[in-house]
Amino acid sequence: MQIRQFLDRPTATLSYLLACPESGRAIMIDPVDDDLALYLGVLDEMKWQLDNILETHLHADHVSAAGKLRRATGAMIACGDAKIETADHLLREGEQIVAGTLQLKVITTPGHTPSCLSYQCGDRLFTGDCLLIGDCGNLSDAGADAGRLYDSITRKLLRFSDETLLYPGHEQQGRQVSCIGDERRNNPLFCGVSRDEFIARIALRPCTIPPHSAEIIAINRRCGLPYSQSTPPSLS
Ligand SMILES: [Fe+2]
């Protein structure tokens, strides 16, 4: 697998472009609107054909580039949240997304939002805002649930092997990649912490709501496009 990781500095968002080395078929995860030209440049330079655009969740901190990328490349948009009204496909637990020899498996990891997804591709996990490096996603969303987030992380993600690489949805203190062994041994929110203790700790954390989140969510329900440019709902 070929992989490119992109950092959107203003929001510390990490996005990913994965490609099959044999066929050049590619998959994008969590594209950011401000970085659209960069993605198109890489696709062009590498001669990759984008087949799928995946959202890990309905983002509140940055505008998605999914709709514009679909228009530029013909790729399909898939996600786990029916609130993203103009996506092409609603993903379910265990579903496979294929592009050339690339195979991504869908893992439902609710908590940060009710419909968060993580994606497994071989020995790599793309966890969005569920499991972060030494941390977890915030719980400022109206549907956020600390208990479900704890269950998603401890029962699903931290059960992968030590060597499994963790590619999160945000940079943390300059770190952009970790591994499951490191998180199981060192993540202070989960290492030796019970579910009840986690819920109590999270309740004490300051609730930071991203600026303009209501407007950003409204745009991201249309895959990052204004009303006039969004396509009709076609969830399957
Ligand atoms: Fe998020």
Domain boundaries defined on the chain = 2-208
CATH T-level fold of 2-208: Metallo-beta-lactamase; Chain A (3.60.15)
β 124-128/131-132 pair status: unpaired
Residue 161 Cα to ligand 1 middle (Å)? 25
β 165-168/124-128 pair status: parallel
Residue 13 Cα to ligand 1 middle (Å)? 9
Residues whose CB is less than 8 angstroms from the CB of residue 19 and which lie 6 or more positions away in sequence, other chains included? 1, 2, 3, 25, 26, 27, 46, 48, 99, 100, 102
pTM: 0.95
pLDDT in tens, 3-61: 999 999 999 999 999 999 999 999 999 999 999 999 999 999 999 999 999 999 999 99
pLDDT at 55: 98
Structure tokens at 32: 């950011």
What is the spatial distance between Cα 99 and Cα 4, in angstroms, rounded to a whole number?
16
Residue 23 Cα to ligand 1 middle (Å)? 32
Smallest Cα–Cα separation from 4: which of 56, 44, 33? 44
| Beta-carbon-side half-sphere exposure of residue 124 (alpha carbons within 13 Å) | 15
Residue 215 Cα to ligand 1 middle (Å)? 14
